[in-house]
Amino acid sequence: MAVNETERRAMARALELAAHGPRGVNPQVGAVILSPDGEILAEGWHHGAGTPHAEVDALSKLAPGAARGATAVVTLEPCNHTGRTGPCAVALIEAGVARVVYALDDPGAVSGGGAERLRDAGVSVDSGEQADAAHALIDGWLTAQRLGRPHITVKWAQSLDGRAAAEDGTSQWITGPVARSDVHRRRAEADAIVVGTGTVLADDPALTARDGDGLYPHQPVPVVIGSRPVPEDAAVHRHPHAPLFYDTRDLHAVVAALHARGIQRVFVEGGPTLASAFLASGLADRVLAYIAPVLLGGSKLALTDIGVPSIDAARRLVVDEWLPLGADLLAIAHPATPLEEGA
């Protein structure tokens, strides 16, 4: 049975609801219950670990029997296991729901399989509706499920000829205000922002996500990697969150420590050395390259050694979007070869 326009609108609404939920060990999920006539009967979302899942949250707002023959539109496949809450697939079956439309399959070995359970009970099931939007919403959680670490975005700004700074080291500002505003918006979507001590000592960044003259409500936790001491009066110490310092070159250890703290989205915004180290370590799920129409020449490359000895070993990327930002251009890309578990 094909997904109809009413169900598509309901999925868009479910994605809006999902965004209300907190990011953490559980995914953000939204649900909309539609009557057989396509009217919205109830809405719900997952409010955090230990609380009812989105489907159950929505069903709880209905009188017993009110969902019989209804359609449940959910951003993630209804779960099929008992944790701190019961299986959502069973809750939907017991409520008499006749049809389920969901965006993404649950990748969990234990929690997955809800769709099969629903079908076995005679429920009509369709998947994949607005999957890209749902994936973008919970990419951190999905990466954590697949790789056991946060989703990592590596960002840099460069001149058209691939330089991150002029020969004297100055780099403010290669890109224009529209591009810089875009960076801050993306910072606000991350759980942590990572730089090296070199960037802190050279630029004294606040590492906040600024919205004009103010701050975004959500601020990423500042993370500084490196062995050089950071002055007590550095701007990073005035961040709304206490900074985390890691005196190590082992990026896998840093990423594991962040994962243990419940951090799911990491935004790497250090200089060429740190960006290159993350890329060389295979720790980049997404690349953001802000390209300015300016030529600098010289030796201050945007990337250094990333472990590519020959063209055959090039790190191939797939560009998801070329986004004009004022006079600048943003390339949004991901690795052409999927990163494997344990990479």
CATH number at residue 223: 3.40.430.10
What pLDDT does 212 receive?
85
Largest CA distance in the chain: 72
100 and 118 housed in the same domain: yes
What pLDDT does 341 receive?
47
162 and 291 housed in the same domain: yes
In a domain, 289, yes or no: yes
> What's the domain range around 202?
141-335
What pLDDT does 110 receive?
56
Taking the C-alpha atoms of residue 199 and residue 177, their distance in angstroms, rounded to an integer, is: 20
Taking the C-alpha atoms of residue 293 and residue 258, their distance in angstroms, rounded to an integer, is: 36
What pLDDT does 82 receive?
66
204 and 330 housed in the same domain: yes
**Which of 75, 103, 137 is the last residue in one of the domains?**
137
pLDDT in tens, 15-71: 999 988 887 678 889 999 999 999 999 999 998 877 889 999 999 999 999 999 999
Whose CA is closest to 80, among 63, 60, 100?
A: 100
- Residue at 24: amino acid letter: G
In a domain, 340, yes or no: no
Which residue stretches of the chain have pLDDT < 70? Answer: 24, 82-85, 108-112, 338-343
40 and 122 housed in the same domain: yes
158 and 265 housed in the same domain: yes
**Which of 137, 165, 198 is the last residue in one of the domains?**
137
112 and 215 housed in the same domain: no
55 is known as an active-site residue: yes
105 and 208 housed in the same domain: no
Q: pLDDT exceeding 90 applies to what percent of the chain?
A: 71
Whose CA is closest to 103, among 131, 78, 140, 124?
A: 131
Q: Kindly report the pTM of this predicted structure.
A: 0.78
**Cβ pair 129, 15 in contact under 8 A:** no
What pLDDT does 224 receive?
96
146 and 241 housed in the same domain: yes
33 and 159 housed in the same domain: no
Q: What is the CATH number of the domain that holds 28?
A: 3.40.140.10
What pLDDT does 339 receive?
65
Number of domains in the chain: 2
Per the residue annotation, which of 55, 77, 129, 269 is the catalytic one? 55
42 and 156 housed in the same domain: no
In a domain, 342, yes or no: no
What pLDDT does 26 receive?
80
18 and 150 housed in the same domain: no
In a domain, 341, yes or no: no
What pLDDT does 51 receive?
86
**Which of 121, 137, 153 is the last residue in one of the domains?**
137
In a domain, 255, yes or no: yes
